[in-house]
Amino acid sequence: MPEPNARDSSLVACPDCDLLQHLPPIPPAGSAHCARCHARLWRHKVDSLNRTLALAVAAAFLLLIANSVPMLGLAVAGREAFTTVIGGVLAMWRDGRQEVAILVLFTAVIAPAFEIACLLAVVLAVRRPPAPAWAGRLLRAYEILREWSMIEIMLLGVLVALIKIAELATVIPGLAMFVLGALVFLLAAMAAVFDPRDAWARVGWVAGASTRPGEGGR
């Protein structure tokens, strides 16, 4: 094995076992797995930037709607009460569980909003490589926040809450519930079509132009 060249962009270290290997040329929609631990090293995604942009714009709209219309309503003895996602956060806050309220706000509203906004900005910025360093910072924020964005878990939680309450009163599913259902699929699709390796190859290096490799991203 020749002395590995750290400037070689096909050189990867497996994130799960640190095995150093070269990524072979991969056909579109194909993927490469670590030779030792089978972690997926890269999936060659087709038309990643355009598809991600389309899905992110749609997701941004749905998230706005989902947070501005009622999600769940309750009717008992002639009285009706509706709540939104934020309404859940406020109820927790009012009842003295501020830590839980903040956690719910973060995982159900802030993290998904950031996830979508970061990706939207990154996809737009990397169209003309090399993208400025802030695009890299946002991409990094996206990678960290993704795990804390829990729209799909919240939706399941809302369904369980609905069943629980259905024994006590008539439950009315609101528009936001259906919007959230669609958003779950959009977010999953958005993460599936986005190719972080491609995006990183188009981001300017923080260490400056002197260390940038000759090639300007694929």
Partner 1 sequence: MNAQPATAMSLGLAGCEVCGLVSRPLAGQPPHCPRCGERLHFRRPASIERCWALVIAALILYLPANLLPVLTTYTPLGSQTDTIMQGVVELWSPTSWPLAIVVFVASITIPLGKLIALAYLLITVQRGSPKSSRQRVRLYRMVKFIGRWSMLDVFVDTFVVALVQLKPLMWMAPGPGVMFFAGVVVVTMVAVNCFDPRLIWDLPQKECHA
Q: Could you tell me which residues come within 8 angstroms of residue 19 by beta carbon, excluding any fewer than 6 positions away?
A: 13, 34, 35, 36, 37
**Which of positions 177-206 make contact with partner 1 (CB under 8 A)?**
196-197, 200, 203, 205-206
**Which of positions 114-153 make contact with partner 1 (CB under 8 A)?**
133, 136-137, 139-140, 143, 147-148, 150, 153
What letter does residue 110 receive in the DSSP assignment?
Answer: I
Q: Binding to partner 1 by residue 32, rule CB under 8 A?
A: no
For partner 1, which residue of 17, 26, 175, 188 counts as binding (CB under 8 A)? 17
Stretch that binds partner 1, among 48-56, 94-102, 112-120, 182-190 (CB under 8 A): 94-102
Size of the site for partner 1 (CB under 8 A): 73
Q: For residues 70 and 63, what is the distance between their CA atoms, to the nearest angstrom?
A: 13
For partner 1, which residue of 49, 63, 72, 119 counts as binding (CB under 8 A)? 72
> Nearest approach, Cβ of 33 to partner 1 (angstroms)?
11
What's the longest Cα–Cα distance across the chain?
79
> Nearest approach, Cβ of 152 to partner 1 (angstroms)?
9
Helix axes 111-125, 48-66, angle to 10 degrees: 150
Q: Binding to partner 1 by residue 97, rule CB under 8 A?
A: yes
Q: For residues 177 and 154, what is the distance between their CA atoms, to the nearest angstrom?
A: 10
Q: Binding to partner 1 by residue 218, rule CB under 8 A?
A: no
Upper half-sphere CA count for residue 103 (Cβ side, 13 Å): 6
By beta-carbon proximity to partner 1, the closer residue of 50 and 170 is 170
Q: Binding to partner 1 by residue 29, rule CB under 8 A?
A: no
- Phi then psi for residue 74, to 5 deg, are -140, 135
